[in-house]
């Protein structure tokens, strides 16, 4: 019997929170760059009653993405895609950030858009960082949104990036634009695709930061943001569940900022001091 399949790329806290909400009665394919991460997530989900399998996948490799699609289709019909994978400015080089977060996400959206089932849905976890980049020109927006994936990294203004934070911000802006571009293609298959841009979400990695050498700056930022705190993976999961459910069928090609008001405050409120560091 053909199963309905949920593909989760990036098996951390946010990805798991979403998978728990949309994966009941389906088979969840857990894909991660590190096998041990995927297996750890599989143990947690299987102990909670979910059916899973694991696969090693590199978001920055088209070949790896195609292998992931092939593996998922051997199990059943791909109904849901959750992309929670990526690298951050403190983790990787400019080249790796652009290869994984910008190019890889574009390829993922394109390739899954060719096979997603009718009534299916996808979410891409982007970042509030994309909303801290100033306005791009209409031409730049169009190039990021519509350029063939194998030409994205050759765009002159992308090749000119030398700073990891800028690489990350452009990548996340590109994620949002590619979601808009791909919504038409996904729609022709009766599927929806959206992005979510979280602020600081408490995960093991974020907790390390909040107790590390840069803790004071993070805590000040959280204290001054409108919500006065960080977010949780479950709050992102709740939003994703709505977007991927029957109630979210009229929503596609959209980005949802979920950051406790941090971006609003960055531009116009108490967090404007951060502009000097960005």
- Are 182 and 145 in contact by the 8 Å Cβ rule? The answer is no
Domains along the chain? Answer: 3-201+233-259 (3.40.50.720)
The model's pTM is: 0.96
Q: Quote the CA–CA distance of 84 and 254 in Å, as a whole number.
A: 17
Is residue 135 classed exposed, middle or buried when 0-12, 13-18 and 19+ CB atoms within 10 A define those classes? exposed
Using CB atoms within 10 A of its CB, is residue 268 exposed (0-12), middle (13-18) or buried (19+)?
exposed
Torsion sign over Cα 132, 125, 35, 149: negative
Q: What is the per-residue pLDDT across 246-267, written as a single tens digit (0 to 9) for each?
A: 999 999 999 999 999 999 999 9
| pLDDT tens digit sequence for 173-194 | 999 999 999 999 999 999 999 9
**CA–CA separation, 112 and 189 (whole Å):** 11
> Could you read off the pLDDT tens digit of each residue along the chain, which spans 278 residues?
679 999 999 999 999 999 999 999 999 999 999 999 999 999 999 999 999 999 999 999 999 999 999 999 999 999 999 999 999 888 889 999 999 999 999 999 999 999 999 999 999 999 999 999 999 999 999 999 999 999 999 999 999 999 999 999 999 999 999 999 999 999 999 999 999 999 999 988 788 778 888 788 889 999 999 999 999 999 999 999 999 999 999 999 999 999 999 999 999 999 999 988 76
Catalytic residues: 168, 172
């Amino acid at each position: 019997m053909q199963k309905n399949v949920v593909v989760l790329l990036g098996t951390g806290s946010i990805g798991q929170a979403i998978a728990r909400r949309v994966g009941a009665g389906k088979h969840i394919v857990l894909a991660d760059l590190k096998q041990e991460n995927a297996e750890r997530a599989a143990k947690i989900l299987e102990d909670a009653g979910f059916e899973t399998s694991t696969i090693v996948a590199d978001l920055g490799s088209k070949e790896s993405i195609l292998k992931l699609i092939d593996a998922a289709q051997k199990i059943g019909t791909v109904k849901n895609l959750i992309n929670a994978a990526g690298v951050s400015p403190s983790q990787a080089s400019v080249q790796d950030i652009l290869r994984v977060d910008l190019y890889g996400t574009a390829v993922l959206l394109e390739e899954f858009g060719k096979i997603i089932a009718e009534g299916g849905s996808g979410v891409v976890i982007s970042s509030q960082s994309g909303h801290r980049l100033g306005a791009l020109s209409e031409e730049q927006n169009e190039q990021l949104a519509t350029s063939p994936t194998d030409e994205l990294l050759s765009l002159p203004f992308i090749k000119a990036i030398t700073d990891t934070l800028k690489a990350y911000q452009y990548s996340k802006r590109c994620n949002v634009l590619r979601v808009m571009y791909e919504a038409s293609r996904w729609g022709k298959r009766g599927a929806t695709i959206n992005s979510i841009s979280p602020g600081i979400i408490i995960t093991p990695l974020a907790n390390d930061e909040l107790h590390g050498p840069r803790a004071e700056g993070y805590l000040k930022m959280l204290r001054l943001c409108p919500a006065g705190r960080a977010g949780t993976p479950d709050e992102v999961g709740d939003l994703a569940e709505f977007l991927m459910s029957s109630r979210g069928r009229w929503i596609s090609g959209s980005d949802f900022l979920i950051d406790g008001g941090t971006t609003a405050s960055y531009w116009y409120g108490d967090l404007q001091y951060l502009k000097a560091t960005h």
